[in-house]
Amino acid sequence: METILIVDDNVQNLQRLVGWIYAESFEVQILTASDYEQAKELMKNHHIGLAVLDISLTEKDDELGVRLADQYRENYPFNTIIFQTVKDDYKYRAQLHDRIGTNIYIPKADLTRERFIGVVSQELERFATQFTNKIFIYQKDKKVPINANAILYLEKVSETKDIKMFFYDRDIKEVKSELLSNMSLEKLLGLPGTGNLFRCHKSYIINKQMILKSMMTETGDAFSVRHTDYLVPIGRHFRKEAATILRGMSI
């Protein structure tokens, strides 16, 4: 079940959007906030699949919602943000895209039930097809499904022909690991359902959906990953593709 966060300082508009979604019987959890601090706290404590943000949350700061989007992007680089705004300006849209990346921009004058539900439905369908992939591997002659969306990264076990998979267990909110025996990184990437996995090092594969950012370390470039303090190294031969992926996070 996906969680949708709707942020709007206009309580009537907030209730209207919530009502539109509930009327469609989507299998979602809806969280609401009417100010910046409340929304920031919800983003900190919940896994937000889709954010619906009012750009202007107060009369004093007409871009508080954009600042909120900046923070959302730190944890959800690929997720779509739906912006509500009183502005209907193509130049402003372009500037917003350059700053925030993937977003859907709806001027409030054009915010109809049909358009809003159409966008929400589209995004939920995108999540269902892109973010819930299963990878099926054989372990001891059994076909075992792996939730590709939960994978953080995979590391080659140098002493054997195995790889160690690190994944996030949402139920207990912890990072866990599992040994995949008789499996190489090359073999895994050849399986269906691995479209979001990226070979970033001769000994590592990372889930593109879990990348927060790249950073310099004493030993070289590395990716910081959601849910863990571990830094996944970026190999010298993989830097160009890694840079392409990071740029793609803003498309």
- Which residues fall within 8 angstroms of residue 22, CB to CB, at 6 or more apart? 30
Spell out a b/e string for 138-150, using b for 16 or more CB atoms within 10 Å of the CB, else e. eeeeeeeebbbbb
Does residue 117 sit in the same domain as residue 19? yes
Does residue 191 sit in the same domain as residue 237? yes
Does residue 138 sit in the same domain as residue 126? no
Does residue 71 sit in the same domain as residue 103? yes
Does residue 123 sit in the same domain as residue 141? no
For tokens 């439905």, name the residue: 121
Domain boundary among 130, 150, 172: 130
159 against 81, higher pLDDT: 81
Does residue 123 sit in the same domain as residue 22? yes
Q: Which domain holds residue 34?
A: 2-130
Contact 61, 14 (CB under 8 A): no
Please count the other Cβ atoms lying within 10 Å of the Cβ belonging to residue 98: 9
Does residue 101 sit in the same domain as residue 178? no
95: domain CATH number is 3.40.50.2300
Contact 55, 103 (CB under 8 A): no
> What 3-state class would DSSP assign to 24?
coil
Does residue 40 sit in the same domain as residue 55? yes
Q: What is the pLDDT of residues 151-201, one digit of tens each?
A: 999 999 987 889 999 999 888 889 999 999 989 999 999 888 888 899 999
Residue 251: predicted pLDDT:
35
Q: What is the pLDDT of residues 90-136, one digit of tens each?
A: 788 888 888 887 788 888 888 899 999 999 998 888 776 655 567 88
Count the domains in the chain.
Answer: 2
Does residue 46 sit in the same domain as residue 80? yes
Does residue 51 sit in the same domain as residue 140? no
200 against 137, higher pLDDT: 200
> What 3-state class would DSSP assign to 32?
strand
